[in-house]
Amino acid sequence: MVDADPVSSSGDAGRPLSANNLALRVLSAVVLAPLALFAAYLGGWPFALFWGAAALAVLWEWITLVVGPAYRLMFSSCGAAIVIAGFVAWLGRPVAALLMVGLGAFAAAVFAPPERRLWVSIGVGYGGAMLLAPMFLRADSIYGFVVIVLLFAIVWTTDIVGYFAGRAFGGPKLLPSVSPKKTWSGAIAGAAGAVIAALLVMGLVGSFNSLAIIIIALVLSVLAQFGDLFESWVKRQFGAKDSSHLIPGHGGVMDRLDGFWAAAFAACLIGLLRGGFDGPGRGLLLW
């Protein structure tokens, strides 16, 4: 949903794109990227609503992928837990929000087919992290908006630079059994581009420890690429090419947010460990 890359595709980055498909991708990116930035700027309930919708879409795609569309009661119970978690987080109760996600995972285990219980429970955690990680980071009253913009810059640059560098230079494949078209040249170039983008963004904001920003950008860029590969691997387990067709030209919401999910989750974890729930943005950025 917030992937500004108009051309890459998780799982087949080197496939030629038709003119119509490329136009759809560009149009989707032009609409969704500014919307994501605007929601981040506003914060508060618009930000919670934006990521709540994204988390529900991801949860629906995951459940449809692993058990099919027939389990409406299971999706309703898990989705309700995600919605309540977002509302509780917006009210400033982060621990209660985490507990609600755990309750949703438990509900998934109750209603899911026995052979798919673990998969569905993981999906609830995936959707919960998609919602709560950005919300916790944005809740930092001083650095919240800056952190979200930094995450967008790192993930978007990783995708865009990695795609074009991979096509231009080619070379050894990164993990051909999972994503046959992704290359080491694209991965390295994407990480390098993310570092430059992070330094530019933070340079506009103020004075920060440049070495720390470089390390943060590298770590989050690598994890964003891991998130992309993880989502490709999950789809391969169930014989799917895209998680859905909700976004014209892009596939599903999960296809667009796989890298952001991993980067945001890691950034939130680092921020919470160093700054607590009161200052996760400060914990991530100030070293």
165 inside domain: yes
53 inside domain: yes
277 inside domain: yes
pTM beyond 0.85: the answer is yes
10 inside domain: no
Residue 204: in which H helix or E strand, if any?
helix 184-205
CA dist 260 and 239 (Å) reads 23
13 inside domain: no
Number of structural domains (the chain) is 1
Instruction: State residue 15's pLDDT score.
Output: 45
Whether the CA torsion 204, 208, 209, 214 is positive or negative: it is negative
Look up tokens 């459940």; give the residue: 63
For the CA atoms of 141, 142, 145, 150, the dihedral, rounded to the nearest 10 degrees, stands at -140
| Model confidence pLDDT, tens digit, residues 59-82 | 999 998 888 877 777 888 899 999
Instruction: State residue 21's pLDDT score.
Output: 54
272 inside domain: yes
Q: Under 8 Å CB-to-CB from 258, ≥6 apart: which residues?
A: 10, 227, 228, 230, 231, 232
157 inside domain: yes
Give residue 215's domain range.
Answer: 19-285
Backbone angles phi, psi at 70, to 5 degrees: -80, -15
Look up tokens 């996600």; give the residue: 101
Judged on CB neighbours under 10 Å (0-12, 13-18, 19+), 80 is: middle
Give pLDDT < 50 ranges for the chain: 1, 3-16
Instruction: State residue 7's pLDDT score.
Output: 38
1 inside domain: no
